Amino acid sequence: GAPRSASAAPRPAELPTVQLMMLFSVFKGNTELPTAVNITWSSINFKTILQWQPKPSGYFYTVEIHGQTSDTKKKCTLTTETECDVTDALRNVKETYTAHILSVQSTGMDNFEEPPFASSEKFTPYNQTVLGKPEIQHYTQDSKLNIVFQDPLTPYMFPNGSFQSIRDIFKHDLEYKLYYWKDQSSGKKDATTKSNTFEISVDNKNNYCFYIQAIIPSRRENRTGQESMVLCTSVGRTILDAVIAIAVITLAIVLSVILCKRKKAKAAREKEPFNGI
């Protein structure tokens, strides 16, 4: 992140005030507050949470986000929490940021001096946010396995209020990989697309299972995203279900005919004695 700029040298007229402030701090016996440790960035689809320890006792935290080129942004001012949603401070997703977590007391003359702080690792959302699960919307199978899926959404909005998807941000850097295999088999195949559909030639006598994940091939790390849920086609089961359904219907018809004949025979037998009288 950007280094903190040193204060400009005080003009002669300011010297007495500065000396008084320093004197006050010394007499006050200000003890150094504990600083944050275990600072981590947790980011999925550009929703980014900064987390740290320990829980404060008798002091507060304030988060500052320092970009390489952007102005410093303050978040979660005077919080007693140990996490902070910094998503809206990282809108320039290709910029590299550092977080400073300041340990501060709420009131008093501490505001005149630099509070102790801890720095995070550098974080570049474009390169480091985790790609979330794609949502499979529709799939069919005959001689081809056709799958339609949706891009994960980010927390960032367009001016019209709709959410930007990861495709709106990554554009041509974004790809999706499909992994598919015959049901009850372990041999996986894969295919890649830059669109939101897959069309794969398959054996229409077998059911297939599959999942999808987003990929950013240009990344050095975190290239592959979270896996979608595994879904399986049911073309084989459909045929079996149809056979069973036909058998059940046939049996029902046969039973109906037998019952009907028995009723007629019974009715005929009941009439016979009367005919004989």
Which pLDDT tens digits describe the chain residue by residue (277 residues)?
Answer: 444 444 444 444 444 444 433 333 333 334 588 999 999 999 999 999 999 999 999 999 999 999 998 899 999 999 999 999 999 999 999 999 999 999 998 765 445 678 899 999 999 999 999 999 999 999 999 889 999 999 999 999 999 999 999 999 999 999 999 999 988 887 899 999 999 999 999 988 889 999 999 999 999 988 999 999 999 998 755 555 666 778 778 888 888 888 888 888 877 777 765 544 4
Same fold across 12-128 and 135-237: yes
Q: Which CATH class is domain 12-128?
A: mainly beta
Question: In one letter, which amino acid is 70?
Answer: S
Residue 269 CA to residue 210 CA, distance in Å, equals 64
Closest by CA to 228, choosing from 158, 144, 149, 172, is 149
Name the token pair of 2.
């950007």
Q: Please state the CATH superfamily assignment of the domain spanning residues 135-237 in this structure.
A: Immunoglobulins (2.60.40.10)
- Phi/psi for 47 (5° steps) reads -80, 115
Q: What is the DSSP letter of 71?
A: P
Cis upstream peptide for 152 (omega within 30°): no
The residues spanned by each domain of the chain are 12-128, 135-237
pTM over 0.85: no
